Structure 1
């Protein structure tokens, strides 16, 4: 019998104004200089505030893509620091994780958008310079700190929150695929009962409060629940549960120029629908999920991006099936299965 494993960050702090707790939260993990890997948008928004809260902080520039070269360059600049902070979007965050792997330092995460569930995980997704997924790197532990200021999150364009919801909505289907395929989670174990409960709670929150959170102009109870579901619950679910076809498809999508402008969570939304259309769910379930995703502005078909030809579908399918979690499904899939599933999405009116 395989051992059960759950991983999680040491501390998770969320709420409007949470950034004001940054100094005391960082101090929990030691004293000394702080190396802050921060993207340009976050630097403009929070750079001065971070320096006021952490006078010993050094703000390091982020080049825009989480490549091996970017990680190496930023890691070299963290020498002498006691902790690394990753501030901004998912790629700056993953670069901070990659630098932490090289330097052996603890890492804290301060997301400025809730577009995906990367903040809580021990995984950094690395891309090629031309923006295709190259692979993943793993820290020995999850981040020491994840601090989510929902007043900052609420100020971001709602497209980012929609993407976060799209990413999180994949987890019930991917966990089911991983369990059916007898796949292991990202810690090499089976999901715990807590993981199963987390996935169901996240799904319930997103369906009940997703539209209200999208409409909120400032943090309220619905917004807080949805952000927690998209960042914390979804993050715990994917790492301690496992991924399946939805995220495998992202690898294929990332190789197609027509989809290069999509956010990760927007790609995952298309991937989840592909996973269901490949046979995991029936037509009613596919229609219900597509309707919900459409209601918050997420893509549900490929035709609007000019993708209708079989050759492109096949190329995406073949790359997707090379992902390490593509076998986490209730049956073995061939490229033809995924091609037909994607074509089915295009045929929906």
Structure 2
């Protein structure tokens, strides 16, 4: 079967937050419980209250753990829609609450640091910030609302991370296709998915530097945000993941790397995937130059990861990811260790 999943409704543009009440009415309405992180509450609390005066605001505690999800679910009371507002982990907590309560979810990201807003997946962590596993909504979010004025006001490190996350998708789709892996709906990618991945790559290569330099939403900024949030989200769910995201599981257990944003980890994972044999040395160098020009990490040594034992632990944990087999050949831990070492060798060359 060819399967594509997508949010019921996607809305993007400056001032979009002021359409929130109307958009929620379109997708079903009803009492709303809002999982919101502290930064988003300070930034948008008054505007959310004006749009949804009866909504219950549930404060996100800082990490998307099973305990955090259960606590917020207990506070949701009579809600008929869960809304997640903030960064990726607050969003995933809202998805977790919706899963526990069997309710639809709406997502309002305040940064464009990764492609989780459109997906039906919530990544759950342990209390010490290592990836524990994933949970799945029955459907994709009913609403994804992206206010690009809010996104533009955030530090550019977040947008760079979103670009790093999105830039993995051409390589991961190729890995999934070569390895015979299915997408996150248990199907093959559609022709639309292939077109989405190609368009996202073209936008990111053409417009990322202009978007990073923009002081307010402009056409290049809007295209890059859409590529990082919508196109990348559709690409990974309906295309499949590979080594780049498998590496994130390994990176998350190493203290020197655990403080990186998800998209920063994915950038390193993409380079590792290319270095493991998917691309030529020239392709590896070109991608490292592009990602590095956006301020994304391209070297393990610069992050104080140098010991063989640490590389081996990363590789061993990475290969436990369910999509680690989505590659053109089977990989052993030493293959990934050599690939990671290659990045540092390229930086010294």
Common fold: TM-score over 0.5: yes
Answer yes or no: is 1:234 the counterpart of 2:250. no
- Give structure 1 stretches of 5+ with no counterpart: none
TM-score using structure 1 length: 0.99
After TM superposition, give the deviation of residue 33 of structure 1 in Å: 1.7
Counterparts of 1:93-242 in structure 2, within 5 Å, are 93-242=91-240
- Greater mean alpha carbon deviation, residues 46-55 or residues 160-169: 46-55
Quick one: distance in 2 between partners of 1:28 and 1:13?
12
Runs of 4+ in structure 1 deviating by more than 2 angstroms, as ranges, are: 29-32
Equivalent residue number for residue 24 of structure 2: 26
Deviation track 1:189-223 (CA, whole Å, cap 9, x = no partner) reads: 00000000000000000000000000000000000
**Paired residues, number:** 347
- Give structure 2 stretches of 5+ with no counterpart: none
After TM superposition, give the deviation of residue 32 of structure 1 in Å: 2.6
Equivalent residue number for residue 337 of structure 1: 335
Answer yes or no: is 1:248 the counterpart of 2:268. no
Equivalent residue number for residue 297 of structure 2: 299
After TM superposition, give the deviation of residue 82 of structure 1 in Å: 1.7
Equivalent residue number for residue 308 of structure 2: 310
Contact 1:180 1:328 in 2 (8 A): yes
Task: Please state whether the residue corresponding to 1:37 is helix, strand or coil.
Answer: strand
Contact 1:162 1:297 in 2 (8 A): yes
After TM superposition, give the deviation of residue 31 of structure 1 in Å: 3.3
Deviation track 1:21-49 (CA, whole Å, cap 9, x = no partner) reads: 10000011333321000000000001111
Contact 1:167 1:268 in 2 (8 A): yes
Counterparts of 1:60-71 in structure 2, within 5 Å, are 60-71=58-69
Equivalent residue number for residue 262 of structure 2: 264
Deviation track 1:103-160 (CA, whole Å, cap 9, x = no partner) reads: 1111000000000000000000000000000000000000000000000000000000
Aligned counterpart for 1:39 among listed residues 17, 26, 37: 37
Deviation track 1:45-77 (CA, whole Å, cap 9, x = no partner) reads: 011110111111111010000000000011111
Answer yes or no: is 1:348 the counterpart of 2:346. yes
Aligned counterpart for 1:280 among listed residues 273, 278, 281: 278
TM-score using structure 2 length: 0.99
Contact 1:216 1:223 in 2 (8 A): yes
Quick one: distance in 1 between partners of 2:104 and 2:40?
21
Answer yes or no: is 1:54 the counterpart of 2:31. no
Contact 1:198 1:237 in 2 (8 A): yes
